[in-house]
C-alpha cells in the first residue's frame, strides 16, 4: 500500500478502497453461489449463514491480507486466489482452536478434550461436527476463498475495460 503523508494525514492508495468494498460484497456473494450450486451441505442448510460467515472472515482476515498483498505487489490471479483460500482456512482453524480451548476451559481436563476430538470437531455455538463433515466444510471454504479471490481480481479489469469504451 503506497501511503502518502500530507499535512499529517495518511492517505491510502486509491485502488485499495474500492477493493475493500469489493471483498466485502464478493465474498458473501460467492459463498451464497457456492452454497446454492452445491445444495444442502455440511453445516448450514440455507444460504444465509455461509454468506454471513464468509463476510465476517473477509472483514477480519481477507481485508488485511489484501492490503498486505497490495503492499508487496502480490496482485496476480493466483496470488489473490491463494490469499482467499488462506483467509478461509485460517477462519476454520481459528474456529476449531476456539472450540478446543472452550472444551478445555469447560472441563479443565485435556483427556476430555482428546475424547471430544476423537469424535469430531468442537464448533463454538454449533456443537460437534463429525470430521468428514468438517473436511467437507473446509472444501466449501476453499472454494469460497478461491472464488472470491478470482472475483476480486477480475472485476477491476472488467471495470477498467468498460471505462475505456
Which pLDDT score is estimated for 137?
A: 81
The residue assigned the cell 472488467 is 158
Q: What is the CA radius of gyration of the chain?
A: 19
Which pLDDT score is estimated for 2?
A: 43
Which pLDDT score is estimated for 48?
A: 60
User: What angle do the packed helices 110-119 and 77-107 form, to 10 degrees?
Assistant: 130
Residue 113 has pLDDT above 80, yes or no: yes
What would the grid cell of residue 9 be?
Answer: 494525514
Residue 7 lies in a domain: no
Specify which residues 22 forms β-bridges with: none
Angstrom distances, CA of residue 26 to CA of 6, 20, 64, 78? 32, 10, 16, 17
Residue 4 lies in a domain: no
Residue 21 lies in a domain: yes
The residue range of the domain holding 74 is 15-164
Segment 123-129 mean pLDDT: 86
Residue 2 lies in a domain: no
Residue 122 lies in a domain: yes
Residue 27 lies in a domain: yes
Residue 159 has pLDDT above 90, yes or no: no
Q: Which of 154, 148, 147, 150 is nearest to 24 (CA)?
A: 148
Residue 1 lies in a domain: no
Bigger pLDDT: 28 or 128? 128
CA distance 94 to 8: 37
Which pLDDT score is estimated for 103?
A: 94
What pTM does this model have? 0.74
Whether the CA torsion 67, 139, 125, 114 is positive or negative: it is negative
Which pLDDT score is estimated for 4?
A: 40
Nearby residues of 142 by Cβ (< 8 Å), 6 or more positions away: 85, 88, 89
For the chain, the domain total comes to 1
Give the chain's mean pLDDT: 79
Q: Which of 163, 119, 141 is nearest to 51 (CA)?
A: 141
CA distance 144 to 155: 16
Residue 66 lies in a domain: yes
Structural contact between residues 65 and 86, judged by C-beta atoms closer than 8 angstroms: yes
Amino acid at each position: 500500500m503506497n501511503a502518502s503523508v500530507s499535512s499529517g494525514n495518511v492517505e491510502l492508495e486509491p485502488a485499495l478502497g474500492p477493493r475493500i468494498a469489493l471483498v466485502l460484497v464478493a465474498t458473501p456473494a460467492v459463498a451464497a453461489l457456492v452454497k446454492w450450486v452445491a445444495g444442502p451441505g455440511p453445516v448450514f442448510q440455507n444460504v444465509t449463514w455461509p454468506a454471513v460467515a464468509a463476510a465476517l472472515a473477509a472483514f477480519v482476515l481477507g481485508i488485511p491480507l489484501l492490503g498486505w498483498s497490495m503492499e508487496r505487489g502480490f496482485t496476480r490471479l493466483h496470488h489473490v486466489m491463494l490469499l482467499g483460500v488462506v483467509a478461509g482456512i485460517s477462519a476454520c482453524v481459528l474456529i476449531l482452536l476456539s472450540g478446543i480451548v472452550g472444551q478445555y476451559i469447560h472441563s479443565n481436563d485435556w483427556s476430555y478434550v482428546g475424547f471430544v476430538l476423537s469424535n469430531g470437531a468442537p464448533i463454538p455455538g454449533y456443537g460437534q461436527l463429525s470430521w468428514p463433515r468438517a473436511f467437507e466444510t473446509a472444501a466449501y471454504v476453499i472454494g469460497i476463498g478461491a472464488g472470491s479471490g478470482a472475483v476480486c481480481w477480475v472485476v477491476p479489469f472488467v471495470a477498467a475495460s468498460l471505462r475505456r469504451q
